[in-house]
């Protein structure tokens, strides 16, 4: 399946989820489309599932343009509700299942979701929220029994849609929002990225091109469906006539057997996963699969050859974000380890300094991006016009990432300009972690910043100034954070300090903290004992 073929087959007016489902159902019929949690759907079943769940949503009072929050792991119910929203013209708001406390409250408030579908084991996440302050009208429970209730709001179990509830597909403009996906704020709360229907069409087209997908492939992801990577993989399967197998989660011990069991030809990895897999003892399973390539952004360049020689899989790097698309990338033949690739057709990239002046080859600067097709990018941040104007200005999206463009057009990632941390494949807002730390009555000041990980990404470190006379301990502070933060955002390293380095205007100089890193006085949550300095 060629990208050019996809563009010819899908005119602009048909780049919506309902149109894609209906067209591909007629094309591929009984071919498998989606597998998760013991459920399997064929292409011709997907429109019916979407219509029935649209009917369930409509019966619950959801209308076109309404937001439906979805807090669920890789279960078939996730895609059932997502497809139902798209069919009805409602807007899905997938939430990270690890969201907790102020972050979760902010996302529900900011999106104005009137319905929350939440997996039963996650219900405790609502215990620390003031539900009465939200606009939620209904909560659906996924995977629980009908007797389950919540102390503040009655919880209705997920309705079992029947054919009588089926709704006709809404007449949807490709510019209408399909989803709002929250990406961590770097100097403030998480921002809801407004993703139009056509953006995911373009994600699929670009991924088909870079991964060289053909009809009948088996795409296997262990990444969460509430992120762009795995959600985009569903559209890749839909457009290319392939099958997406969504595993419950990434497990290094089960990874290879999962690929073998489903007959995968393509898989998806994040930077930290490759060194984890390579650190394990060799196994015959590493060569017993049928995977030819993996979309694997952020993998250290020195690991590409080692992984291919050991496991027989080409790693495909690239650059994309929830706000943009698969803008920079390469095919397996074009791949250069340590490089993100070149700008793909239909997109433009510049590397600029703080004044907007374009940098020369080999000179680091901020990456800014533009798409010739405007609906290939997100349309802004939901209910945050100031943040939208800041990031999408002068016709370019300002990524906040520092890169280098080589003389031959290949791009290389350097670091992040923004105050963000990436850990275990998740973007973490230092601001949100700091707000939780500062909510502890014994904390007077706090700064959160990244320090190097043994893997390919970051660890979260917090420098904390205690209030005078307080005897707060590091373990107690970590325990305070656990119910209030996603697990991956809880600081691994905590160090109590007398003061934080600051400018004359009082702004914390985090670069000094990053440069100092872990010291002999730093407490390590994983080791539960002080560690000797490591930078």
Q: What is the pLDDT of residue 533?
A: 45
Structure-model confidence comparison of residues 100 and 426, the more confident one = 100
Distance between start and end Cα atoms, the chain: 47
Whether the predicted pLDDT of 14 surpasses 80? yes
CA distance 359 to 252: 41
In a domain, 525, yes or no: yes
In a domain, 24, yes or no: yes
- Provide the number of structural domains found in the chain: 3
Structure-model confidence comparison of residues 420 and 181, the more confident one = 181
Whether residue 434 sits in one domain with residue 402: no
Whether residue 440 sits in one domain with residue 385: no
CA distance 293 to 301: 16
pLDDT single digits (tens) 227-239 = 999 999 999 999 9
pLDDT single digits (tens) 172-221 = 999 999 999 998 655 578 999 999 999 999 999 999 999 999 999 999 99
CA distance 165 to 520: 63
Whether residue 444 sits in one domain with residue 350: no
Which of the given ranges, 4-8, 274-278, 486-490, has the highest pLDDT on average? 486-490
Q: What percent of the chain has pLDDT over 90?
A: 72
Q: Name the domain boundary from 418, 444, 478.
A: 418
CATH number at residue 40: 3.40.50.12780
Backbone φ and ψ for 185, nearest 5 degrees, come out as -70, 155
CATH number at residue 379: 2.30.38.10
Structure-model confidence comparison of residues 434 and 416, the more confident one = 434
93-97, 159-163, 267-271, 303-307: which has the minimum mean pLDDT?
159-163
Residue 413: name the closest of 400, 405, 403 by CA: 403
Look at strands 365-371 and 347-352 and give their pairing: antiparallel
Q: Name the domain boundary from 368, 396, 418.
A: 418
CA distance 54 to 167: 6
497: helix, strand or coil: coil
For 108, the domain range is 17-197
Q: What is the pLDDT of residue 256?
A: 98
Q: What is the pLDDT of residue 127?
A: 82
Q: Give the rounded distance of the alpha carbon of 13 from its chain centre.
A: 27
Q: What is the pLDDT of residue 233?
A: 98
Q: Which tokens is 284 given?
A: 């015959």
Whether the predicted pLDDT of 110 surpasses 60? yes
> Whose structure tokens read 């979701």?
113
CATH number at residue 492: 3.30.300.30
Whether residue 192 sits in one domain with residue 118: yes
In a domain, 260, yes or no: no
Q: C-alpha angle with apex 60: 54 to 65, nearest 5 degrees?
A: 60
Whether residue 155 sits in one domain with residue 98: yes
CA distance 460 to 492: 6
Which of the given ranges, 85-94, 163-172, 427-436, has the highest pLDDT on average? 85-94
Query: Which of the four pLDDT bands, split at 50, 70 and 90, describes residue 308?
Result: very high
Q: What is the pLDDT of residue 505?
A: 52
Cα distances (Å, whole numbers) of residue 353 to 272, 277, 406: 29, 37, 16
Q: Which tokens is 403 given?
A: 């890169």
């Amino acid at each position: 399946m060629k990208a050019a073929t996809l563009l010819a087959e899908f005119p602009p007016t048909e780049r919506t989820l309902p149109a894609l489902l209906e067209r591909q159902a007629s094309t591929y019929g009984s071919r498998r489309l989606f597998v998760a949690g013991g459920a399997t759907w064929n292409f011709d079943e997907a429109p019916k599932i979407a219509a029935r769940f649209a009917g369930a949503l409509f019966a619950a009072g959801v209308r076109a343009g309404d937001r439906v929050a979805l807090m669920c792991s890789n279960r078939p119910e996730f895609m059932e509700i997502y497809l139902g929203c798209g069919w009805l013209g409602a807007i899905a708001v997938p939430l990270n299942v690890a969201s907790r406390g102020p972050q979760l409250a902010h996302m529900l408030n900011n999106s104005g979701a009137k319905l929350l579908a939440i997996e039963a084991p996650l219900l405790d996440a609502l215990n620390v929220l003031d539900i009465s302050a939200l606009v939620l009208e209904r909560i659906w429970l996924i995977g629980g029994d009908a007797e389950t209730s919540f102390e503040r709001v009655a919880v209705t179990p997920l309705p079992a849609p029947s054919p009588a509830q089926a709704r006709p597909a809404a007449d949807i403009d490709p510019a209408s929002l399909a989803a709002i996906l929250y990406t961590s704020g770097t100097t403030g709360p998480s921002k809801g990225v407004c993703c139009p229907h056509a953006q995911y069409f373009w994600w699929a087209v670009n991924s088909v091109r870079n991964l060289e997908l053909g009809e009948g492939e088996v795409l296997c992801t262990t990444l969460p469906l509430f992120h762009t990577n795995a959600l985009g993989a569903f559209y890749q399967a839909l457009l290319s006539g392939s099958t997406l197998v969504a595993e419950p989660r990434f497990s290094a011990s089960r990874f290879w057997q999962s690929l073998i069991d489903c007959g995968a030809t393509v898989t998806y990895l994040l930077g930290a996963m490759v060194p984890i897999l390579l650190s394990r003892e060799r196994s015959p399973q590493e060569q017993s699969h049928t995977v030819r390539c993996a979309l694997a952004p952020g993998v250290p360049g020195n690991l590409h050859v080692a992984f291919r020689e050991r496991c027989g899989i080409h790693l495909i790097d690239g650059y994309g974000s929830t706000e943009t698309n698969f803008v920079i990338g390469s095919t397996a033949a074009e791949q250069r380890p340590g490089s993100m690739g070149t700008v793909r057709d239909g997109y433009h990239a510049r590397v600029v300094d703080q004044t907007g002046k374009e940098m020369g080859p080999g000179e680091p600067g901020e990456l800014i991006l533009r798409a010739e097709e405007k609906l290939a990018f997100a349309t802004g941040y939901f209910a945050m016009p100031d943040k939208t104007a800041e990031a999408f200005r002068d016709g370019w999206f300002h990524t906040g990432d520092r890169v280098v463009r080589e003389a031959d057009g290949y791009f290389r990632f350097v670091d992040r300009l923004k105050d963000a941390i990436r850990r275990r494949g998740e973007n973490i807002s230092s601001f949100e972690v700091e707000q939780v730390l500062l909510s502890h009555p014994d904390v007077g000041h706090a700064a959160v910043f990244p320090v190097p990980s043994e893997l390919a990404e970051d660890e979260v470190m917090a420098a904390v100034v205690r209030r005078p006379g307080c005897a707060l301990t590091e373990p107690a502070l970590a325990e305070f954070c656990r119910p209030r933060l996603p697990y991956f955002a809880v600081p691994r390293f905590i160090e109590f300090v007398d003061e934080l380095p600051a400018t004359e205007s009082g702004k914390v100089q985090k670069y000094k903290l990053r440069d100092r890193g872990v010291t002999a006085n730093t407490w390590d949550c994983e080791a539960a004992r002080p560690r000797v300095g490591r930078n």
